[in-house]
Amino acid sequence: MNTKDKCITLLEQLEKQTVLSKEEYLFLIRHKEDCMEELSRMASDVRDRVYGKKIYIRGLIEFSNYCKNDCLYCGIRKSNHKAERYRLTKEQILDCADQGHALGFRTFVLQGGEDPWFTDERMADIVRELKKRYPDCAVTLSLGERSEESYRILKEAGADRYLLRHETADPDHYRKLHPQTMDWKHRVNCLYSLKRLGYQVGAGFMTGSPFQTEEDLAEELLFLKELSPQMCGIGPFIPHQDTPFRENPAGSVETTLFMLGLIRLTLPDVLLPATTALGTLDPQGREKGISFGANVLMPNLSPSDVKKKYLLYDNKICTGDEAARCIECLKARIKKTGCEIVTDRGDHKGGYHNV
């Protein structure tokens, strides 16, 4: 069998939910140029079968860029003294949500650096207020690593979902991307705690992060199959000028698309965003992501004056645009792909396995 035929056979097995080995995933990743088109078609078909042509939108509210962590890749790491720090007030956060609701958003994502100012009490108060004002909306939190008790308090306050990228499935690789005070096991334990507490959980990683190998990418797929998260955020690594990885090359659009497609086949009912980082590396990146099975977009609802301060990487798109303008632009872009942005909470459709 030639390489292309072998790739297609593997993709067909994956589509039928046959579990692939690390070597089989690796084979696909090493020969991606032989089956990009087939993967795009199959991943879109699987997405359509589970979710139809609906693209769900999440209103991202970047409420604080203070962070006690020092991840080597991240522009808001605590050692970056050039980052201008800000915190939104509860009123500002609620204003963002008001505007978002009027624009058709039914999920709000509160994302921030690991900022101790936002104690459980303060966070729970904001979550409760959001759920009271918008009982028809889902609240997603993305606050990094916290204690199980903290996750429990926030769940009881009404939070529905939690995003915490695991960043890499390999503990050794993790140590090269993070200060030694951070621990892979702890992060993964957080993901399992969140699942146990009943959150819809989002994991994820960067493609092309420094030191990442093709084997690491194959491992990502095994890890995701095992964790079976309801959401998975992946985007290319993009260097930030004020971080130790400023000279490292950005990840590739093709690899990101290929991984999106493989994730869609591996976890058919996963909610899969076409990320802003993908749109930053390629003007058509988000549309391309949709064509490889993505079904979520996360436009920014943060106030205009802080958008330029939440910079995890260089050249981030849409930092000069009002949310209303972004959503109009995205609707037009997505229509051209044959999909459609909808006003919907966009909950996960599958069962909750492996909890």
Positions that interact with ligand 5AD (CB under 6 A): 73-74, 165, 167, 206, 235, 237-238, 240, 277, 312-313
Distance of alpha carbon 221 from alpha carbon 39, whole angstroms: 15
Q: Nearest approach, Cβ of 36 to ligand FES (angstroms)?
A: 25
Question: 240 vs 264, which CB is nearer to ligand 5AD?
Answer: 240
How many chain residues are in contact with ligand FES, going by CB under 6 A?
6
User: In this structure, are residues 249 and 258 in contact, taking their beta carbons and an 8 Å threshold?
Assistant: no
Residue 208, contacted partner among ligand FES, ligand 5AD, none, CB below 5-8 A by kind: none
DSSP secondary structure letter of residue 113: -
Instruction: Pick one of 154, 163, 257, 330: the residue that binds ligand FES (CB under 6 A).
Output: 330
Question: 138 vs 203, which CB is nearer to ligand 5AD?
Answer: 203
What's the angle, vertex CA 277, arms to CA 150 and CA 300, rounded to 5? Answer: 60
Element of type H or E holding 351: none
Distance of alpha carbon 216 from alpha carbon 117, whole angstroms: 35
Q: Nearest approach, Cβ of 144 to ligand 5AD (angstroms)?
A: 8
Distance of alpha carbon 80 from alpha carbon 71, whole angstroms: 11
Segment near ligand FES (CB under 6 A), from 8-16, 120-128, 301-309, 317-325?
Answer: 317-325
Q: Nearest approach, Cβ of 289 to ligand FES (angstroms)?
A: 13
Distance of alpha carbon 327 from alpha carbon 336, whole angstroms: 14
If DSSP codes are grouped into helix, strand and coil, which group holds residue 75?
Answer: coil
Instruction: Pick one of 326, 334, 339, 341: the residue that binds ligand FES (CB under 6 A).
Output: 326
| Residue 19 contacts ligand FES per CB under 6 A | no
Question: 308 vs 325, which CB is nearer to ligand FES?
Answer: 325
Q: Nearest approach, Cβ of 35 to ligand 5AD (angstroms)?
A: 26
Q: Nearest approach, Cβ of 165 to ligand 5AD (angstroms)?
A: 4
Question: 72 vs 318, which CB is nearer to ligand FES?
Answer: 318
User: In this structure, are residues 201 and 162 in contact, taking their beta carbons and an 8 Å threshold?
Assistant: yes
Segment near ligand FES (CB under 6 A), from 77-85, 106-114, 307-315, 319-327?
Answer: 319-327
| Residue 296 contacts ligand FES per CB under 6 A | no
Q: Nearest approach, Cβ of 238 to ligand FES (angstroms)?
A: 17
What's the angle, vertex CA 180, arms to CA 219 and CA 202, rounded to 5? Answer: 45
Question: What are the helix (H) ranges across 120-170?
Answer: 120-133, 148-156
Distance of alpha carbon 132 from alpha carbon 150, whole angstroms: 20
Question: What are the helix (H) ranges across 251-315?
Answer: 253-266, 276-281, 285-291, 304-307
Q: Nearest approach, Cβ of 310 to ligand FES (angstroms)?
A: 15
Q: Nearest approach, Cβ of 67 to ligand FES (angstroms)?
A: 25
E-state strands within the chain: 54-57, 59-64, 107-112, 138-142, 161-163, 200-207, 231-236, 296-297, 340-342
DSSP secondary structure letter of residue 249: P
User: In this structure, are residues 108 and 302 in contact, taking their beta carbons and an 8 Å threshold?
Assistant: no
Residue 332, contacted partner among ligand 5AD, ligand FES, none, CB below 5-8 A by kind: none
Distance of alpha carbon 165 from alpha carbon 196, whole angstroms: 17
Distance of alpha carbon 279 from alpha carbon 235, whole angstroms: 9
| Residue 321 contacts ligand FES per CB under 6 A | yes
Q: Which residues inside 141-180 make contact with ligand FES, applying CB under 6 A?
A: none
Q: Nearest approach, Cβ of 139 to ligand FES (angstroms)?
A: 23
Q: What are the structure tokens assigned to 86, written together?
A: 């800000």
Residue 177, contacted partner among ligand FES, ligand 5AD, none, CB below 5-8 A by kind: none
Question: 272 vs 274, which CB is nearer to ligand FES?
Answer: 274
| Residue 114 contacts ligand FES per CB under 6 A | no
The residues that touch ligand FES, with contacts defined as CB under 6 A, are 318, 321, 325-326, 329-330
